A and B are shown apart, each in its own frame.
Chain A
């Protein structure tokens, strides 16, 4: 049971927009920044979004992040087949004094 809750899967057609939610609590998302990772099959995770909504250099601006209260969202616009991956949210948890990861959301591009 992950501390951060994500939907197991989402799907959308190419060129559409999809959002992935991440629900937490006051000890994690509510009080700390949210980070998002993309994991392609058989690969190490890749940093996608940090500090709730900042993009690292080299990440497409089709990806965006947002946060409200104890929930966060990752949005992907202009979906492409290369976006098929598992997406994880993460945040520092003050109660755990460690990093909490979500359970991951598998994105399927129809």
Chain B
């Protein structure tokens, strides 16, 4: 069974850097093609889902173009964690942040998220 859980601060001040950790279990340390990944997706209150970034098991990374300069995604295999950092936080970044698992296989691509964490609400306010 695959589980993911997000952790991090619930409140950050404007201009601060946000660091979120996704701790997972049930995912193999390596895969045949390295096409499996863990992504971060956020959802402002009452609004739609917004994809942020993904890191694949071959260490390839992709970022949302409009936020690319502010985002960094890394993976710590020894801790079974994926970490997202977002710099220069602004009140518009207030959202529930989810991490989610994208499986590897012929019928899966990076828009397929089989397992999700419960989400963590981050509020940006002074």
Contacts and interface: CB of A to CB of B under 8 A. Distances in A.
A90 B111 CA distance: 6
A99 B51 contact: yes
Interface in A51-110: 51, 54, 56, 88, 90-92, 96-104
B111 A99 contact: yes
A33 B111 contact: yes
Interface of A is mostly: strand
B11 interface: no
A32 interface: yes
A33 B108 CA distance: 9
Interface residues on chain A, size class: 20 to 34
Interface in B103-126: 107-114, 116-119
Nearest to A4: B48
Nearest to B114: A47
Interface stretch (B12-20, B58-66, B72-80, B87-95): B58-66
A99 B107 contact: no
Interface string B46-68: 00111100100000001111000
13 contacts: A33-B111, A37-B49, A44-B119, A45-B49, A45-B113, A51-B107, A54-B107, A90-B49, A92-B111, A97-B65, A98-B51, A101-B41, A101-B51
